Amino acid sequence: MLGSVAFGVLLVAAVDRIWGHSNIAFAAAILVLLIANAPMLRFNCPRCGKNAFFRGPFVIPWPNRVCTRCGQDLRETHSQNR
């Protein structure tokens, strides 16, 4: 995920340097970040469905080991797609 953010920043900076300011470069960077974020959104607790990457309103690049809503140990179980 951090590599995707770095790629997006470098993409926007390179396009800005070569061709000037472009909204297309920003749109491409957002698209790259959305595609890179998609697998994170499917890692949910099998018991209650809470996403393991969310800590309150914040998203962290590593998942919880224990679900913060129901206390399920997420290291031993496989997640469901919800």
Q: In this predicted structure, what is the pLDDT of residue 37?
A: 83
Unique residue bearing structure tokens 């957002």 = 30
Answer whether 0.85 is exceeded by the pTM.
no
Q: Pick from 29-33, 55-59, 78-82 the range whose average pLDDT is largest.
A: 29-33
Phi and psi at 7, nearest 5°, equal: -65, -45
Both tokens assigned to 34 = 């959305």
CA distances (Å), 47 to each of 15, 43, 70, in order? 45, 12, 8
Comparing 9 with 39, the larger pLDDT belongs to 9
Unique residue bearing structure tokens 């595609």 = 35
User: Which pLDDT tens digit goes with each residue over 8-38?
Assistant: 899 999 999 999 888 999 999 999 988 988 8
Domain positions in the chain are 1-41, 43-82
Q: How much is the average pLDDT of 37-42?
A: 83
